[in-house]
Amino acid sequence: MRSDSLILIGGGGHAVVVAESALAAGLTVAGVYDDDPRCAAARPPGAVPHLGPLGAFPAAPAWIMCLGDLAARAALLERLGNTGPATVAHPSAVLAPSASVGPGVFIGPRAVVHSRAQIAPHAIINTGAIVEHDCRIGANAHLAPGSVLGGAACVGAGTLVGLGAVILPGVRVGSGCVVGAGSVVREDVPDGARVVGVPARALAR
């Protein structure tokens, strides 16, 4: 396989976005592993070869996790280990030179990762998301399209920040949280919480 070839792990809608971003960045997409041979990434237009089910994925020099479900991603990432994850950034994304981006991260079209921001491995900075200066994003977190983090905000590992949600400067959202779409988070959120609204409030368990 060519050194610039990429394997997709998971073939749903997110894989389609990652594949097109990888191609725009000059990479070659070798194929996709997914339990469904007719997964979205393997269907035209823009189909990539289906290489087998998720459990058949071998050791490979360059792969990126494309499952959308954070829990499923975490379980598979634990099995795959740290060998071979590749970072994909769409050419229209803006990455500050002083930002730190870990392996396996996806940065979507027109996303911004600003000065001294730190993005941990396998996080998703999706289309048009803004990560301002000195923010910290945990491993396998997902910032959905259009979400905005003010300066020095923090998002913990495995947390989903929904479409268009806003986290104000300096606010910390813990690990394993869900921030509902369109929410505005003004205060720290503890691990495992689900918050929604303007201002964001915790949902009753």
Residues known to be catalytic = 133
- What are the residues facing 185 on neighbouring strands? 167
Six token digits for residue 154: 């923090």
DSSP 136-197: EE-TT-EE-TT-EE-TT-EE-TT-EE-TT-EE-TT-EE-TT-EE-TT-EE-S-B-TT-EEET
| Chain centre to alpha carbon of residue 2 | 24
Nearest to 141 by CA among 114, 102, 112: 102
User: How many whole angstroms separate alpha carbon 32 and alpha carbon 54?
Assistant: 9
